[in-house]
Amino acid sequence: MTKIINVKTSKDSYPIYIEHGLKTNWASYIKQLLRGEKVAIITDSNVGPLYANELKASLENLNIKSCIFTISAGEKSKSISNYENLATQLIEYNITRSDLIIALGGGVVGDLTGFVASTLLRGIDFIQIPTSLLAQIDSSVGGKVAVNLPIGKNLLGSFYHPKAVLIDPEVLQTLDKRVLSDGMAEVIKYSCIKNESFFKFLEEYDLDSISGQFDKLISTCCQIKADIVERDEKENDERMLLNFGHTFGHVIESNFNYEVYTHGEAVGLGMLYIASLGERLGLTKLGTSDKIKTLMLKYNLPIDYPKMDIEAVKAIISHDKKSLGEKINTIFIRKIGDSFIYPEDIDALIEK
């Protein structure tokens, strides 16, 4: 059975379809949304060989022309140079405003493709086909698209929603364990900011046994995110809560040049850091960080905060999109499931 979650935006709305085996129907969903003649499939070097040829063949069966564009797998591909290369290749492919771009892959493919789609010819329709757990529960929904700059993470981007999100949980079977853990960090994030009973549910499983619960994870997380995005599409207020753990998460990713920690691993460490700090500041119920740590260990996530140069940390934090100058809108939790925004001095965040 197909589960459908609608995301209402200021201008429009779009469906998230969640269904086992949906991949056999990807092409027909694409056909329904295609206004022009052709499709560009953007994927990466891991996902492409697994799923892109199949998609291209089923589009051909429906007489739809398509071409596959492949980037190297990994965070470093979310770059200005790949943005330029892809944009140029798509123009060489004679893409038009009525054609359709497909992001087939994890969050890196989704963010980069979405940003290209939002800017090329001033906007081309795109569809998200997320293939990692993280992309199925977070990055494919909500319209944040971006590339990294050498000076920091996601600094060049826009809000640009897909026309649809097509989720087939079965593609998660080909994921590496580490990529699965990575996604679990963002799942834990949702439970920490909004839903204590979901946190308790996650406590009953571990990285191996949770695979039987993917449908629940995907629909719970997508629903939480859709609700928040509907209330605050452009992150003026409540949407900032989705950034729990990200201020220090982005610092960790970027400080280690995206080579040591994945996004989810870094966000997990960022959540632990803020939960412990919140306890020391009297903002967070004592014992909360231990609960998060125990859950992270169940899902094979790292828990040791890395040593970093304080000046480097301050420099990276100063570029955070939640910065207010000397202060930064920081996401704390009072207790599991209850989060809030607190403007804190950057120095206090780092030194305490």
Ligand X SMILES: O=C(O)C(=O)C[C@@H](O)[C@H](O)[C@H](O)COP(=O)(O)O
Residue 109 among known ligand-binding residues? yes
- d(C-alpha 258, C-alpha 264), whole Å: 12
- d(C-alpha 33, C-alpha 100), whole Å: 8
Residue 131 among known ligand-binding residues? yes
Residue 263 among known ligand-binding residues? yes
- d(C-alpha 144, C-alpha 272), whole Å: 24
Does 194 participate in binding ligand NAD (rule CB under 6 A)?
no
- What backbone phi and psi angles, to 5 degrees, belong to 335? -160, 175
- d(C-alpha 255, C-alpha 220), whole Å: 32
Binding-residue pattern over the window 20 to 49 for ligand NAD, x denoting contact by CB under 6 A: ------------------------x-xx--
Total interface residues for ligand X by CB under 6 A: 11
Look at residues 277, 260, 351 and name the one whose alpha carbon lies nearest to residue 314. 351
Q: Mapping DSSP to helix (H, G, I), strand (E, B) and coil, where does residue 68 land?
A: strand
Does 161 participate in binding ligand X (rule CB under 6 A)?
no
Does 144 participate in binding ligand X (rule CB under 6 A)?
yes
Considering beta carbons, is residue 56 or 161 the nearer one to ligand X? 161
Does 78 participate in binding ligand X (rule CB under 6 A)?
no
Which amino acid makes up residue 126?
A: F
Does 242 participate in binding ligand X (rule CB under 6 A)?
yes
Residue 107 among known ligand-binding residues? yes
Among 168, 182, 320, 344, binds ligand NAD (CB under 6 A): 182
What is the signed CA dihedral for 229, 233, 236, 238, rounded to 10 degrees?
A: -10
Pairing of strands 125-130, 327-335: unpaired
Does 284 participate in binding ligand X (rule CB under 6 A)?
no
Considering beta carbons, is residue 170 or 279 the nearer one to ligand NAD? 170
Among 76, 239, 293, 314, binds ligand X (CB under 6 A): 239
- d(C-alpha 109, C-alpha 82), whole Å: 11
Burial 41-61 (b: 16+ CB within 10 A, else e): bbbbebbbeebbeebbebbee
Residues that bind ligand X (CB under 6 A): 138, 142, 144, 154, 186, 235, 239, 242-243, 246, 321
Q: Given the rule CB under 6 A, which residues bind ligand NAD?
A: 44, 46-47, 50, 73-75, 78, 105-109, 111, 131-132, 134-135, 138-139, 142, 144, 154, 171, 174-175, 179, 182, 186, 263
